[in-house]
Amino acid sequence: MSIAIGIIGLGTVGSGTVKILFENQSLIKKRLGCPLIIKKIAVRDPSLPRLVEVPDTLLTTDVESLFRDPDIKIVVELIGGLEPARTFILQAIKAGKHVVTANKAVLAEYGQEIFKAAKEAGVDVAFEAAVGGGIPIIKTLKESLAGNRILSLTGIVNGTCNYILTRMTEENISFEEVLSQAQKAGYAEADPSLDIDGLDAAHKLVILTTLAYGTEVSIDDIYVEGIRNIEPTDIAFAKEFGFVTKLLAMCKETEEGLEVRVHPTLIPEKHVLASVRMAYNAFYIRGDAVGDVLLYGLGAGQLPTGSAVVSDIIDLARNVLSGGSGRVPPLSYQLSDLARLPIKPMDKVVCRYYFRFSVLDRPGVLSKIAGILGQNNISIASVIQKGREEKGPVPIVMLTHEAREASVRKALEEIDQLNIVIAPTKFLRIEKP
């Protein structure tokens, strides 16, 4: 007996998946108990050059032939984007095929529809590669930590942003310069908006939050802030205080609801996440029983992501062999038990803050700023004030004790209106995951 699979898309991830299935065929057979056979690969243009050698007989432009073929038990969607990926996934499910996808966007937007359809059709949908590339974060939340109440989950989930911030930190160069170099090196897309504006991380956080807390969360629930406005000056000042700058995706339980947010964050340089460099990803999970858990590895790329896809294919092939489905709920919780938990508004978030004020070099400047902060219940923890070397603004850098976001925004609005302040205040949040 063998299990036939059909693949939609032969780009970077598709090529990695096919390469692993070809090269590790014997190993996979020993672990699964039968061969996995690629029967068809649907592509737009069979004549295009490929990252992996594939027999022409496997290629087809007729995607629907994968759904009609009774021999194909598992369909693997690797084209990305919302449409036609959503339609293809639903067509495969309707045809009674198990589905593997690496598509975080389609799951973040249409996950409930897809998983409901799969349950009704008696098939499974697996998506380990949708978050964290080769890092097994999905399986960890669904299975390994199934007995834990998740207290918090913090992740460095976008390799492009982490690469840019690492270069800015270690080489003291501007965001624009690093981004340009990252695009030439292939670490960033020609249009990098999805990554650098935090939307890629937010899509991943939708999935992680649902898995961790069994809640129906949408992209609109997540506060999202990217890294476009990060300057080497602020990274350097943060280092003086003993902090490293990272783009973090965070979800955690509080008495006022779930906090779900993506934004640049200062974390202590001795924290384990501070050492995650370049294009690597990491997930720092705190469970009530297990304590702290760290998962670390390459969060993207041909073979790391292909590894996660193949892992899912093997899992679903085991279900085919056993004649069952639904053994592990796709979202960790039973679909009937998913609930809409309250989301804590960003204005109510409480954390420490970093401020950099650009002011005129005059007596009493610090006292005026401190006075407004005090009136808004914001307590100063540390201050660095440096004299100007040439004509121009003087930077005053502060760290606060814990303060409420709404109070911070109100105070900064007042401060930025002072005639001694000559540029909008830069601020970053500080967390200790």
Read off the amino acid at residue 45. Answer: D
Q: Are 356 and 237 in contact (CB under 8 A)?
A: yes
Find residue 67's DSSP bridge partners.
none
How far is 433 from 351, CA to CA, in rounded Å? 11
Could you give the C-alpha distances from 145 to 138, 203, 249, in angstroms and in order?
10, 22, 19
Per the annotation, binding residues are 8-15, 104, 189
Which residue numbers belong to the known binding site for L-homoserine? 189
Amino acid at 296: Y
> In 246-267, which positions are buried (b, 16+ CB within 10 angstroms) versus exposed (e)?
bbbbbbbbeeeebbbbbbbbbb
Q: Is 204 a catalytic residue?
A: yes
* Dist. CA 343–CA 103, nearest whole Å: 25
In the chain, the amino acid numbered 187 is: Y
230 vs 59: CA distance, rounded Å: 45
Binding residues for NADPH: 104
DSSP state of 175: H
| Residue entry with tokens 């200062």 | 266
101 DSSP β-pair partners: 77
> ∠ at Cα 128 (123, 133), nearest 5°?
155
Q: Which of 73, 142, 204, 426 is catalytic?
A: 204
Active site residues: 204
